[in-house]
Amino acid sequence: MYRVGYRFKNLAFLEIYRSCYNPDKVQAHFTIYMAQTSKSAVERPMHFNTDRIISGAAAASFQNTQIFSRYNALLGHQTYFASSTNMFDRGHLTPSLDFAFKASRGQTNKYINLIPQFKTINRGNWKTIENWVRRQLSERHFDALKVCTGVLGVLELYSSTYRADIPMFLINNNKNPIPKWIYKIVSHISGRKFVFLTYNNAHATTRPTGQVVSNVCRELPCRNFGLNVRNEGTAGYTFCCEPHDFIARNLARLTGIC
């Protein structure tokens, strides 16, 4: 577990967020932070920092040119992407806009906080979920919220060349996986809790159903929580889940934490 923040005169450490990260696998599992109301308009710095936790070569695996090459290497002749433009974002688990100051927002630009996320999903339904969290605070439904954001599984894409589903790892030896699911657990000290789950597959043309979903999520209507998402693969098919069931089923180690 990595703690990200500031140390004051070697006396105290102000934590902004923490990340469960595996540097050997180049994989962020989840992050935890406290979200509070912020209407700051400061820009986020654009530089991304490895903190010497991963190599420059590992960081480069997030670049779209390399991801495009990886698609072709793993899948053979593929038609998912015709070029390396507008493929993936370096998706933040802990989002920068939940912090008020430029320096704090810059602290989210760390590879221990990043996942390979489809660009249209990051800027589609996932953005809607992040804005929902901020709205709960700005509209004073809650004073502060604990947010745990993480990933489940590895995305598999069908290869017509090999006639098989291929796990999508951006680095050899099963490193830097494209996650299959991205979740966000939002909880308040009162006991209120919400879980949102997004299918990280912009190539999907139909909404996941059956055991693909039921194995990870006992679905609830998102409209019950005032969340309006697009029912499109490019935006990221999104589900709202019964929180306690979701945690017990997928993240038992985080019971009482998230």
Residue 22, annotated as binding a ligand: no
- CA 112 – CA 50 distance, rounded (Å): 8
Size of the chain, expressed as the number of residues it contains:
258
Burial status of residue 100 (CB atoms within 10 A of its CB: 0-12, 13-18, 19 or more): middle
Please enumerate in sequence order all residues whose Cβ is within 8 A of that of 19, keeping only pairs 6 or more positions apart, or say none.
Answer: 1, 2, 4, 28, 30, 31, 93, 94, 110, 112, 113
Mind telling me the catalytic residues? 92
Residue 130 near residue 229 (C-beta atoms within 8 A): no
- Number of Cβ atoms within 10 Å of the Cβ of 213: 18
Kindly provide the residue ranges of all beta strands, DSSP E only, lying in the chain, ordered along the sequence: 2-8, 12-22, 27-36, 88-92, 114-118, 144-154, 156-159, 164-167, 169-171, 175-177, 179-187, 193-199, 219-220, 238-241
Annotated binding site: 122
Annotated binding site for Mg(2+): 122
